[in-house]
């Protein structure tokens, strides 16, 4: 802290100095009392208030310490806002263990690399755009990041191209966490990556997972359906939204709205968000499959595919991309390049849009809905 005052914030030391030394009387905290209300990131719709109890926060901290192989000697770096669930996972796990927690108010690639080097950081949790930023930084070096024991990718799928580059340049450090603030998660451990490439891991201790069809019937391994799960971190409710809560939690199971499948060993493979799925000519088209192709182009940094209405096909895919510095790729050339490589005709993109950067929320997640809305506003 440099002592400078930031509008809208109160310095921690000023807050504690103003506190009364006397303990409040007659107040008891129970495990089922509300700890906080987390508002979802709103990447697919309006943010919802997710009610989290003290018991749930304790479960997060104790489970994460084990999952991430953290000890009191670990050094955790969090870069970004503290208003999302990932920040609470890193912060409270560090507090539970008594380990070191370093907070950057926002993500800055060069500051991140320098802090890892100088403070010998061991654990970081990052969204994909941050991982990509570090990989493409001119200051990137395996030596500067050599103390890292965990790089946990969260918030959205890390595309295979970027995943493989990270593994190649910083081997045996990648963890991939799939989860919802509403209270479910799987983890792909760093030791499972080679044998389970493409998976987002398996449920951890005390969690259950199943895949269901549209009629809410369990489906066998290998078949795509909605991801449904339960465990000790499941939310209490959506704040003041009882009907939405009843839709999300049925008989103790949380319906995620995400599509995926499991293999014979119970490892989960994420296909896409149900809301992001494009139906073209009666066929389900998953944007993630197309994005995985597009990011293989050497000029492309990130890709976001979404559907727009089409008179003939019902919907058709559009791709938005960000490009590497000094790239010469045109939108027309990218459409041609992509459509020559996708696996099926219905995956062919109609148009590509080149953006300087993607709109993101405070956690760094790409706001695909905003990209689509901006595209529609300019093309209707």
Q: Length of the chain in residues, anyone? A: 380
Beta strand residue intervals within 235-295, DSSP E: 237-238, 249-250, 253-262, 268-273, 278-280, 283-285
- Pairing between β-strand 249-250 and β-strand 123-126 as defined by DSSP bridges: unpaired
User: Is there a contact between 77 and 119 (Cβ–Cβ < 8 Å)?
Assistant: yes
Provide φ and ψ at 105, rounded to 5°: -65, -25
Distance CA 76, CA 373 (A): 37
Contacts of 327 by beta carbon, 8 Å cutoff, 6+ apart: 299, 300
Give the Cβ contact number of residue 16 at 10 Å.
8
pTM higher than the cut 0.95? no
In order of their start, the domains of the chain are 31-273 (3.40.50.12780), 277-378 (3.30.300.30)
Sign of CA dihedral 221, 261, 185, 170: positive
For residue 1, what pLDDT is reported? 46
For residue 3, what pLDDT is reported? 52
Tokens of 352: 């590509």
Provide φ and ψ at 44, rounded to 5°: -120, 0
Angstrom distances, CA of residue 7 to CA of 4, 13, 83, 154: 10, 16, 17, 30
For residue 272, what pLDDT is reported? 82
User: Is there a contact between 304 and 368 (Cβ–Cβ < 8 Å)?
Assistant: yes
Q: Name the DSSP letter for residue 79.
A: E
Give the Cβ contact number of residue 37 at 10 Å.
16
Helix, strand, coil distribution of the chain in percent, nearest 5: 25, 30, 45
User: Is there a contact between 238 and 301 (Cβ–Cβ < 8 Å)?
Assistant: no
Ordered mean pLDDT values, 10 residues apiece, the chain (380 residues): 65 85 85 93 71 97 96 96 88 97 94 98 94 94 97 89 93 94 95 90 95 95 96 97 96 95 96 85 87 95 93 90 95 97 91 95 84 90
User: Is there a contact between 111 and 78 (Cβ–Cβ < 8 Å)?
Assistant: no
For residue 237, what pLDDT is reported? 98
Where is 104: in which H helix or E strand?
strand 100-104
- Pairing between β-strand 300-310 and β-strand 283-285 as defined by DSSP bridges: unpaired
């Amino acid at each position: 802290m440099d002592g400078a005052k930031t509008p809208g914030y109160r310095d921690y030391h000023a807050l504690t100095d103003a506190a009364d030394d006397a303990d409040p009387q007659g107040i008891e905290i129970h495990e089922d009392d509300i700890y906080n209300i987390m508002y979802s990131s709103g990447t697919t719709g309006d943010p919802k208030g997710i009610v989290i109890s003290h018991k749930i926060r304790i479960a997060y901290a104790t489970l994460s310490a084990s999952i991430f192989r953290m000890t009191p000697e670990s050094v955790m770096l969090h870069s970004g806002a503290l208003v999302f669930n990932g920040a609470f996972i890193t912060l409270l796990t560090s507090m539970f263990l008594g380990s070191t927690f370093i907070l950057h108010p926002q993500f800055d690639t060069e500051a991140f690399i320098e802090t890892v080097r100088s403070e010998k950081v061991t654990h970081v949790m990052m969204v994909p755009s941050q991982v990509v930023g570090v990989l493409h930084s001119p200051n990137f070096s395996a030596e500067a990041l050599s103390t890292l024991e965990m790089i946990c990718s969260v918030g959205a799928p890390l595309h295979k191209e970027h995943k493989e580059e990270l593994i190649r340049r910083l081997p045996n450090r990648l963890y991939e966490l799939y989860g919802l603030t509403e209270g479910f998660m799987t983890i792909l451990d760093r030791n499972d990556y080679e044998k389970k490439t493409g998976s987002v891991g398996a449920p951890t201790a005390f969690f259950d997972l199943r895949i269901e069809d549209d009629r809410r019937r369990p489906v066998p391994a290998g078949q795509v359906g909605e991801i449904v799960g339960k465990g000790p971190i499941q939310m209490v409710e959506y704040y003041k939204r009882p009907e939405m809560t009843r839709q999300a939690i049925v008989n103790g199971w949380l319906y995620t709205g995400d599509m995926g499948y499991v293999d014979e060993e119970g490892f989960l493979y994420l296909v896409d968000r149900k809301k992001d799925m494009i139906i073209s000519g009666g066929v389900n088209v998953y944007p993630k499959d197309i994005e995985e192709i597009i990011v293989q182009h050497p000029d492309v940094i990130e890709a976001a595919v979404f559907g727009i209405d089409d008179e003939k096909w019902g919907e058709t895919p559009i791709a938005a991309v960000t490009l590497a510095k000094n790239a010469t790729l045109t939108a027309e050339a990218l459409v041609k390049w992509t459509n020559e490589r996708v696996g099926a005709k219905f995956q062919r993109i109609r148009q590509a849009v080149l953006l300087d950067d993607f709109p993101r929320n405070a956690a760094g997640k790409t706001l695909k809905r905003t990209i689509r809305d901006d595209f529609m506003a300019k093309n209707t």
